[in-house]
Amino acid sequence: MTLDERVAEARAEYARARPVSARWSSRARVVMPGGNTRSVLHFEPFPFRVERAESKFLWDVDGHQMIDLLGNYTAGLLGHSPGPVVTAVRDALDSGWSLGAVHANEVRLAELIVDRFPAIEQVRFTNSGTEANLMALALATDHTGRRKIVVFEHGYHGGVLTFGTTAGAVTVPHDWLLLPFNDIDAVDAAFAVHGDEIAAVLVEPMQGSAGCLPPAAGFLEALRDRCDEHRSLLIFDEVMTSRLSTGGAQQRLAVTPDITTLGKYLGGGLSFGAFGASRDVMLAFDPASEALPGHHAGRLGHAGTFNNNVATMAAGVAALTEVITPDRLDATNARGDTLREGLEHVFRSRGTKMCVTGIGSLMNVHGTAGPVRSQSDLATADERLRELLFFALLDAGFYIAPRGFIALSLEVTDDDVAAVVAAVDEWAGSIVGD
């Protein structure tokens, strides 16, 4: 059987097993383009509909139980409905939820985040990582008085900050300098020509949506050096990667940014974003402070009705004080390393033309033997292999992203990791020769 025939068969078997999800999909398409309101959740022939979730498990409307290895694209680090977070949110809602005023938990959460990330002396909250990155760019252009922003091909910094080899159609119109990821020579050339015009470099310490592509040796350090030389600001988008250690990828990789953006699990898995920096950079948002030389205190406004919403603030405090302990986080990242190494061993031993990239609890399976250092290395990847693996793991009771992305939660165990490796080994053995 050819790979094309196998994909057609896998899709048909998936659809036959999910008639209720199929009906929901048909109903949804009438009122929502594509049948959903978050494009990444679509896949062919239709996505299953979740009925409930608990701990590491999902149940769909057709009664299938799955171990969730996707973790809501990193937002679900805590698993589903962890007890301390649920209790904190319920208590907060019992006290009222649309206050239009400041309250204590936003201070507590800010203190916890400042404590966690040494590069952040002051922080402001947003409703999403997208908003956090937008505010970080506004802050950088105001602080430097410059307009150009260096970003990297296939970087993703939110729905309106999306890049391929060009800026996406919905990407906001900054004066972008779009460079290849992991290409130090391209960075040097851009700074040589535009150094006194560059306000900031915006980069993910590991490109997430592009396929969990780690930085090449010396790449982040080169960005730090060029920003220092030209008085530009280095912005680390740690919306996804902050889970890679208690102090984020910046701590793990030992490179310190000027501005850090955050999101996802730090709000307990609810809608959340944040951006932070040193006091002198954040001064632009403080109307009560005197300006430092060359700066403007209180120059920038920062709106957002739900920036300090009581549910997220309470959830974040509970998550950081009661759930995401350093030991649990370290164990989850170590478990991710074990899973990635196990999958790599399967692909090599079975002769399957696939590989895995990533760091810690974040990884991506690719339809090529690799190595993969940038998107250009994926030009000849066979997406059929990834799709077949996606359906095979669903049949085995594991949910990953159709694009091969995996983000482990704290709830996933060593036994789960071993079971995933065994399931992939069985699948890989079944397609030998195709």
* DSSP state, residue 117: -
**Same domain, residue pair 268 and 396:** no
**Same domain, residue pair 311 and 386:** no
Q: In this structure, are residues 200 and 140 in contact, taking their beta carbons and an 8 Å threshold? A: yes
- Report cis status (omega within 30 of 0) of the bond before 214: no
**Same domain, residue pair 45 and 191:** no
Cα separation, 154 vs 159, in Å, equals 13
**Cα first-last separation, the chain:** 7
Under the banding of pLDDT at 50, 70 and 90, the label for residue 434 is: low
Q: Which residue has the tokens 């383009």?
A: 33
Nearest to 13 by CA among 42, 49, 60, 45: 45
- Which of residues 308, 323, 338 is at a domain's end? 323
**Same domain, residue pair 199 and 231:** yes
φ, ψ of residue 21 in degrees (nearest 5): -60, -35
**Same domain, residue pair 299 and 335:** no
Instruction: Please state, for a pLDDT cut of 70, what percent of the chain lies above it.
Output: 97
Q: Which residues lie across from 176 on neighbouring strands?
A: 149
Measured CA distances, 209 to 199, 201, 206, 408 (Å): 24, 18, 9, 15
**Same domain, residue pair 117 and 239:** yes
pLDDT of residue 291: 59
Under the banding of pLDDT at 50, 70 and 90, the label for residue 364 is: very high
* Residue 115 CB partners (closer than 8 Å, separation 6+): none
Token pair recorded at residue 24: 């929901």
Q: In this structure, are residues 127 and 307 in contact, taking their beta carbons and an 8 Å threshold? A: yes
Q: What is the pLDDT of residues 122-171, one digit of tens each?
A: 999 999 999 999 999 999 999 999 999 999 999 999 999 999 999 999 99
Neighbouring CB atoms inside 10 A of 54's CB total 12
CA atoms within 13 A on the CB side of 387: 19
* Mean pLDDT score across all residues of the chain: 96
Residue 267 belongs to domain spanning: 83-323
Q: Which residue has the tokens 């590069």?
A: 119
**Same domain, residue pair 45 and 117:** no
Cα separation, 244 vs 377, in Å, equals 24
Q: In this structure, are residues 243 and 287 in contact, taking their beta carbons and an 8 Å threshold? A: no
**CATH code for the domain of 356:** 3.90.1150.10
Q: What is the pTM of this model?
A: 0.96
- Which of residues 303, 323, 343 is at a domain's end? 323
pLDDT of residue 299: 83
**CATH code for the domain of 135:** 3.40.640.10
Q: Which residues are catalytic?
A: 156, 237, 264
Measured CA distances, 388 to 16, 60, 294 (Å): 16, 20, 57
**Same domain, residue pair 73 and 22:** yes
Token pair recorded at residue 231: 């008085």
pLDDT of residue 433: 57
Q: What domain count does the chain have?
A: 2
Q: What is the pLDDT of residues 166-212, one digit of tens each?
A: 999 999 999 999 999 999 999 999 999 999 999 999 999 999 999 99
* Residue 28 CB partners (closer than 8 Å, separation 6+): 35, 36
- Which of residues 264, 295, 323 is at a domain's end? 323
**Same domain, residue pair 226 and 319:** yes
